[in-house]
Amino acid sequence: MSESIDIINAFALLTNFVILPALSYGSQLALGALAVTLVYSILRFSNFAQGDSMAFGTMLTIIISGYMISRGWTITGVPTALLAIPMALIGMSIYLLTMDRLVYRYYRKIKAKQNIIGITASIGVMFVTGGIVRFVLGASAQRFGDGERFIFSVREFKAFTGLEQGIALKTSQFLTITVAILLVSFLFYFLQRTKTGKAMRAYSDNTELALLSGIDPDKVVRITWLLVALFTTIAGTLYGLDKGFAPQQYHLLLLPIFASVIVGGIGSPIGAIAGAFLVAFSEILLTYAYKKFLIYLLPLSMHPNSLVQLIGTEYKYAISFVILVIVLIIKPTGLFKGKVLDE
């Protein structure tokens, strides 16, 4: 290890272990959080089934991509899961629309006080969905990524730059960040520029007025579920490609996703994205051990002996909780002036 101050290696180290993982994790959370925000804005309840729905979408991708691999329908270098997403999306849409027809539509019809009843109903859907996933794929972890694993690996990076610290860019990280940017741009274009998108915003802002001006509520609900299916399937698949698939892990994702939504401001799409990155960076920055990083930056006499780790990695999930509590106490509307949860 060098004895002088070495900013470039310190930056490479941080990029490899903090910035890239946090960017891709944040993107995955953002997509999930947008799905929750959509359901909240249009259907007016907090969808607790989001994490397990992501597992359901990923399950469809795994099954379809497994079939495609067995038939040899692959493209060299591209994860087959990516090619399977359109098919999985169809399955996911059918599943969510069926759930809406079987469960949520009834409560809309009787004009129940939506959030609390919606939450309770969605918890039921959450257990059913999680149960189906475990029934079909089992509860154990599995990996389904194929194709090139890296855009460039640590070894290649080191050989190319001659640096002591390498940076690896995984295909899954690159895909996650790119796809997230594309999807988010699409969502904003859709909501701002298209007629259906405007109808959805109108329905969200003032339901009675929207109905009076001739907006078809069933169509708005359908389009919402289709968008949710899109975001859910892709978020789940990207998370699975990056970190592997395990039903319990997806179930637990609910917490950081809700933290993201509430931190950003409930019902605000921009807030959901900002909140997702805030949660992701907090989780990784607070659990990272900075010893090596500081050794690069500080003169020899000031080198730390301890790991300089603020919180052990096993407390990662607790960070979401803490952020949630702080925001609810200090600024219940979130960073982007959303609604208060039990409005």
Partner 1 sequence: MKSYMKTTAGFVISATMATASYGASVNVGELQGFTGPLESMIGPMSGGANLAVTETNASGNYLGGTTINVVQGDSVCIDPAVATAEAERLMNDENVMAIMGPNCSGNTGAVITNVLVPNGIVSISPSATSPALTTLEDGGWFFRTAPSDARQGPVLASIAISRGQTDMAVTHSNSDYGKGLADAFVTAYEAAGGKVTVLAGHDDDKADYSADVAALSAGGSSTLAVLGYADTGGRGIIAASEDTGAFSNYVFGDGMISDVTSGAVADGSWGTMPSPDLSLSDNWVRVAAVGGVNGLGVFSAESYDAMALIILASQAAGSTDRAAIQAQVMDVANAPGYQCYAGKLGECLAMISQGIPVDYVGATGVELDAGGTANGSYAESQVTGGAFSVVNIHK
The total of other beta-carbon atoms located within 10 Å of residue 332's CB is: 14
Instruction: Establish if 289 lies at the interface with partner 1 (CB under 8 A).
Output: yes
Stretch that binds partner 1, among 65-73, 109-117, 274-282, 287-295 (CB under 8 A): 287-295
Structure tokens at 173: 């990280």
Instruction: Establish if 5 lies at the interface with partner 1 (CB under 8 A).
Output: no
Residue from the set 74, 207, 249, 333 that interacts with partner 1 by CB under 8 A: 249
Structure tokens at 123: 């918890």
Stretch that binds partner 1, among 48-56, 80-88, 149-157, 191-199 (CB under 8 A): 149-157
* DSSP one-letter string for 67-89: HHHHHT---TTS-HHHHHHHHHH
Instruction: Establish if 68 lies at the interface with partner 1 (CB under 8 A).
Output: no
Stretch that binds partner 1, among 176-184, 188-196, 308-316, 323-331 (CB under 8 A): 308-316
Residue from the set 210, 284, 323, 327 that interacts with partner 1 by CB under 8 A: 284
* Complex with partner 1: residue 185 or 313, whichever CB lies closer: 313
Residues 79-108 that bind partner 1 (CB under 8 A): none
Q: How far is the CB of 103 from partner 1 (least distance, A)?
A: 28
CB 261 within 8 A of CB 231: no
3-state helix, strand, coil in the chain (%, to 5): 75, 5, 25
- Rounded distance, CA 246 to CA 168, Å? 24
Residue from the set 17, 107, 152, 281 that interacts with partner 1 by CB under 8 A: 17
Instruction: Establish if 166 lies at the interface with partner 1 (CB under 8 A).
Output: yes
* Three-state DSSP string of 21-57: HHHHHHHHHHHHHHHHHHHHHHHCCCCCCHHHHHHHH
Candidates 253, 297, 304, 303; CA nearest to 279 is 253
CA 104 to chain centre: 23
Contacts to partner 1 by CB under 8 A: 1, 16-18, 21, 140-141, 149, 153-155, 158, 166, 168, 170, 239, 242-246, 248-249, 283-284, 287-293, 295, 307-309, 312-314, 316
